[in-house]
A and B are shown apart, each in its own frame.
With several copies, the nearest count.
Chain A
Amino acid sequence: MATSTTSQPRAAEVERLTLADRVDLLRYMLRMRGIEQRAMTLYRQGQVPGSFYDGLGQEAVSAGAAFAMAAEDRLCILHRDLAAHLIRGVEPERIFAQYMGRCSGLTEGRDGNVHFGDRRLGCVGMVSMLPDMMLVAVGMAMAFRIRGERRCALTWLGDGSTSRGDCHEAMNWAGVQRLPVIFVLENNQFAYSTPTSKQYAVNPVERAAGYGFPGVSVDGNDVEAMFAATLEARERAIDGGGPTLIAAETMRMHGHAAHDDMAYVPSELVDHWRGRDPIELEEGRLVAAGVDVEGLRAEVGVELEEALRLAREHPFPAASSAREGVFCEGEAQALGDGLARWSGYA
Chain B
Amino acid sequence: MPEMTYLQAISDALREEMRCDERVFVMGEDIGTYGGAFKVTEGLQAEFGADRVMDTPMAEAAIIGAAIGAAVVGMRPVCEMQFSDFVACCFDQLVNVAGKMHYRQGLAVPIVIRLPSGGGFSGGPFHSQNPEAWLMHAPGLKVVAPSTAADAKGLLIAAIRDPNPVCFLEHKNLYRRIRGEVPAGTYQTPMTARVAREGDDMVVITYGGMVWTALEATEDLEGASIRVLDLRSLVPLDEAAILEAVGDCGKVVVVDEANATCAAGAQVSALIAEQGFEFLDGPIRRVATPDVPIAFSPPLEKALLPQVEDIRETCRELLAY
Which residues of A are at the interface with B, using a C-beta cutoff of 8 A? 49-50, 74, 101-103, 105-107, 109-113, 115-117, 119, 124-125, 127-130, 132-144, 146, 153, 160-161, 163-166, 169-170, 172-173, 176, 191-194, 198-200, 264, 316-323, 325-335
The answer on a CB contact under 8 Å between A107 and B300 is no
Closest to B102 in A: A328
Residues of chain A lying within 8 A (CB to CB) of residue B195: none
The answer on a CB contact under 8 Å between A138 and B126 is no
Is the CB of B92 closer than 8 A to any CB of chain A? yes
The answer for the CA separation of A200 and B56 in the assembled complex, in Å, is 10
The answer for the CA separation of A103 and B85 in the assembled complex, in Å, is 25
The 9 closest A-B pairs by CB, nearest first: A139-B69, A135-B65, A109-B297, A101-B297, A128-B126, A193-B34, A49-B122, A332-B108, A139-B66
User: Nearest Cβ distance between residue A35 and chain B, in whole angstroms?
Assistant: 18
Best-surrounded residue of B51, B77, B105, B108 (most CB of chain A within 10 A)? B105
Interface of A is mostly: loop
Quick one: which of B93, B124, B142, B300 contacts A322, CB cutoff 8 A?
Answer: B300
Quick one: which of B52, B56, B96 contacts A129, CB cutoff 8 A?
Answer: B96
The answer for the CA separation of A112 and B72 in the assembled complex, in Å, is 21
Q: List 13 A-B contacts (CB under 8 A).
A: A50-B121, A50-B122, A125-B105, A136-B66, A139-B72, A141-B69, A160-B58, A192-B30, A198-B55, A199-B57, A264-B34, A322-B299, A331-B163
Closest to B304 in A: A322
The answer on a CB contact under 8 Å between B300 and A321 is yes
Closest to A161 in B: B58
Closest to B66 in A: A139
How would residues 112 to 155 of chain B score, 1 for a CB under 8 Å from any chain A CB and 0 otherwise?
00000000011111110000000000011010000000000000
The answer on a CB contact under 8 Å between B69 and A140 is yes
Residues of chain B lying within 8 A (CB to CB) of residue A128: 83, 85, 96, 124-127
Q: Decide: A146 near B51, CB < 8 A? Known: A110-B300, A138-B62, A164-B89.
A: yes
Quick one: which of B127, B296, B298 contacts A110, CB cutoff 8 A?
Answer: B296
User: Nearest Cβ distance between residue B233 and chain A, in whole angstroms?
Assistant: 13
Residues of chain B lying within 8 A (CB to CB) of residue A166: 61-62, 65, 92-93
Residues of chain B lying within 8 A (CB to CB) of residue A103: 297
The answer on a CB contact under 8 Å between A334 and B68 is no
